[in-house]
Structure 1
Amino acid sequence: MTLAFALAWAAPARAGDWVSEPKSQVRLVDGGLFDGARYAMVQIRLAGAAVTYWRDPGEAGSPPTFDFAGSDNLGDAATFYPLPARIDEDGSIAFGYQREVMFPIRVAPVDPAKPMTLALKLDYAVCDKICIPVHAQMSEVLDPQPAAPESAPLADAMKNLPKPLDGDAAARVGSAAPVSAADGKPQWLVTINGGDARDLFVEPPAGFYFDVKPASVKNAFRLTMVEHPAKKMRPEAPLRVTVAGSSPVEFDLVLPAKN
């Protein structure tokens, strides 16, 4: 798809206000507490068939970036990405969101007794027939003790986050084995143990790109390496794998060499 680009700029919004952009609205709000941690939330609403993107946008688009550099009393901010959908954009497969998406932001103050002032510079892309890079500025003050300790919107947003797994837990859930190459392109069969694996999203090291297709076996996917750096026929670093299902998970997976 050929994309035309325009740039949209927004003035800083008042606390909690929606910022109106072409094909979208965005706001920064106080999320309250979840499992004892303090959260803010970034909410994006999209018009019509417009799309915005996951941290790995796939074959099209660009990921959002969250810059809290101008904040006050903020020690740390970690952004969490809900499970994406696979979206066909005129033959290019993108990973992202339609209609609405909520990004939980776990924050920690420098001084827990004082309020945090979050100053966010957010860049994200909105694509419909054309792709528009958006730059929005927002701010929100988070009191040390939130008025609503556990908010329903935050709880709902946390349900859409893939659960991170590591070590033995990751090894029990997913495994990979090399299979016969197709058209000279290396392939692996990734098997997900248990649950209902409806889709698989793969984030490889730089320079690699994989095509992912469901296999004939339930909860299995065929990974075909379609792009790779010169003379590297498999990534030595692990892939980050996200499994879409009733209980989404994500974990690192090493692709074994062919015997």
Structure 2
Amino acid sequence: MEQIVTMPFMKRRALILAALGLPAFTLVGRAGAGPHYSARLIGGERAGSTWRAGLDITLAKGWKTYWRMPGDAGVPPQFDWSRSRNVKSVTVLWPAPTRFADKGGETVGYKDRVVFPVDVVAEDPGQPIDLALDAFLGVCEIICIPVKLEMSLVQSEPTPADASLIAAFAARVPQKADAEAPFHVASAALVETDGKFDLALRLVGQGFDKDLDIFVEGSDFAYFRSPRPAGEEGLVQLRIDGLKDAQKLKGRQLSLTMTAGDIRLEQDVVVD
């Protein structure tokens, strides 16, 4: 069965806490809760052999969990669907995240509530799907709680509320920056200033002038901070932490997730 797990370069604060023996919470069944969160598997619509489910996480005020690239001080969620039955593959969709800064470092993820839409392909479309999840999450405020989830859900007719909730968060999943996208990156290059490196991106199109953020994946040895204007219209630079040798990034393909207002896009670029 297909399983998608990303483990980028990070100071994994939550994993360190877990290694020190802090308690984890185990949830068995469709739903459960800890002191600062609740989590449940919910069902959505089915189209052909594909059933769209969702992992619904609600967080207490001030608490957060992480995106697949969790910043320089977080831990990415890990999902294992291998206990599922009548399942050929599982694909987790990731709503666009937010960048947070606090005393512990910079993190990328979600506050309040997030639903990860999950596309499940059945081995036998004529039979119901029994979806089972083993997951590890970091749930953090000033401190982090390592959370282990064991949850399951048998496919059935969705409630209108659950189907609507999954659809709302699926609409927040970034789309490919194709020819019809409001904007895209025309070029990506490294810039060195006083011994420090920036990733310079040239944006073309419209709509990127409102609350622009860009999250960079594709390097396990460097972290890219938030974009800042670079003097020319459409040109932004992202400071790179952890990069000592520019040759390690030149020619490398990076995946960009870009948010600006209600626009959410994905694009792969090659660094000049």
TM (norm. structure 2) is 0.81
Q: For the Cα contact (< 8 Å) 1:104–1:154, is it kept in 2? A: yes
Q: For the Cα contact (< 8 Å) 1:10–1:136, is it kept in 2? A: yes
Long gaps (5+) in structure 2: 1-10
> Following the alignment from structure 1 to structure 2, what is the Cα–Cα distance between the partners of residues 178 and 231?
10
Q: Partner of 2:120 in structure 1? A: 107
Q: State whether structure 2 residue 56 is matched by structure 1 residue 43.
A: yes
More divergent stretch after superposition (177-186 vs 117-126) = 177-186
Query: Which residue, out of 215, 236, 243, partners 1:228?
Result: 243
> Following the alignment from structure 1 to structure 2, what is the Cα–Cα distance between the partners of residues 146 and 79?
19
Kindly provide the amino acid, as one letter, of the partner of residue 39 in structure 1: R
Q: State whether structure 2 residue 106 is matched by structure 1 residue 90.
A: no
> Following the alignment from structure 1 to structure 2, what is the Cα–Cα distance between the partners of residues 114 and 179?
52
Q: For the Cα contact (< 8 Å) 1:32–1:154, is it kept in 2? A: no
- Structure 2 CA distance for partners of 1:153 and 1:195, relative to 1, 3 Å: farther
Once the two structures are TM-superposed, the CA of residue 36 in structure 1 deviates from its matched residue by 8.7
Q: Partner of 1:206 in structure 2? A: 220
- Structure 2 CA distance for partners of 1:116 and 1:221, relative to 1, 3 Å: same
Q: Partner of 2:164 in structure 1? A: 152
Q: Partner of 1:243 in structure 2? A: 258
More divergent stretch after superposition (223-232 vs 130-139) = 223-232
- Structure 2 CA distance for partners of 1:241 and 1:129, relative to 1, 3 Å: same
Q: Partner of 2:185 in structure 1? A: 174
Kindly provide the amino acid, as one letter, of the partner of residue 108 in structure 2: F
Q: For the Cα contact (< 8 Å) 1:200–1:221, is it kept in 2? A: no
- Structure 2 CA distance for partners of 1:176 and 1:226, relative to 1, 3 Å: farther
Query: Which residue, out of 191, 196, 203, partners 1:185?
Result: 196
Kindly provide the amino acid, as one letter, of the partner of residue 87 in structure 2: L
Q: RMSD of the TM alignment (CA)?
A: 2.8
Q: For the Cα contact (< 8 Å) 1:77–1:108, is it kept in 2? A: yes
More divergent stretch after superposition (110-119 vs 221-230) = 221-230
Alignment of 1:52-131 (within 5 A): 52-90=65-103, 92-131=105-144
> Following the alignment from structure 2 to structure 1, what is the Cα–Cα distance between the partners of residues 150 and 138?
15
Q: Partner of 1:8 in structure 2? A: 24
> Following the alignment from structure 1 to structure 2, what is the Cα–Cα distance between the partners of residues 162 and 43?
18
> Following the alignment from structure 1 to structure 2, what is the Cα–Cα distance between the partners of residues 195 and 188?
21
> Following the alignment from structure 2 to structure 1, what is the Cα–Cα distance between the partners of residues 204 and 177?
13
Kindly provide the amino acid, as one letter, of the partner of residue 181 in structure 1: E
Alignment of 1:133-148 (within 5 A): 133-143=146-156
- Structure 2 CA distance for partners of 1:110 and 1:227, relative to 1, 3 Å: same
Once the two structures are TM-superposed, the CA of residue 147 in structure 1 deviates from its matched residue by 7.1
More divergent stretch after superposition (174-183 vs 75-84) = 174-183
> Following the alignment from structure 1 to structure 2, what is the Cα–Cα distance between the partners of residues 88 and 35?
43
> Following the alignment from structure 1 to structure 2, what is the Cα–Cα distance between the partners of residues 169 and 231?
33
Q: For the Cα contact (< 8 Å) 1:212–1:221, is it kept in 2? A: no
TM (norm. structure 1) is 0.85
Kindly provide the amino acid, as one letter, of the partner of residue 195 in structure 1: Q
Once the two structures are TM-superposed, the CA of residue 251 in structure 1 deviates from its matched residue by 1.2
Secondary structure at the aligned position of 2:263 is classed as: coil
Q: Partner of 1:195 in structure 2? A: 206
> Following the alignment from structure 1 to structure 2, what is the Cα–Cα distance between the partners of residues 131 and 115?
37
Q: For the Cα contact (< 8 Å) 2:199–2:238, is it kept in 1? A: yes
- Structure 2 CA distance for partners of 1:195 and 1:65, relative to 1, 3 Å: farther
Q: For the Cα contact (< 8 Å) 1:176–1:188, is it kept in 2? A: no
Q: How many percent of aligned residue pairs carry the same amino acid?
A: 29
> Following the alignment from structure 2 to structure 1, what is the Cα–Cα distance between the partners of residues 83 and 255?
31
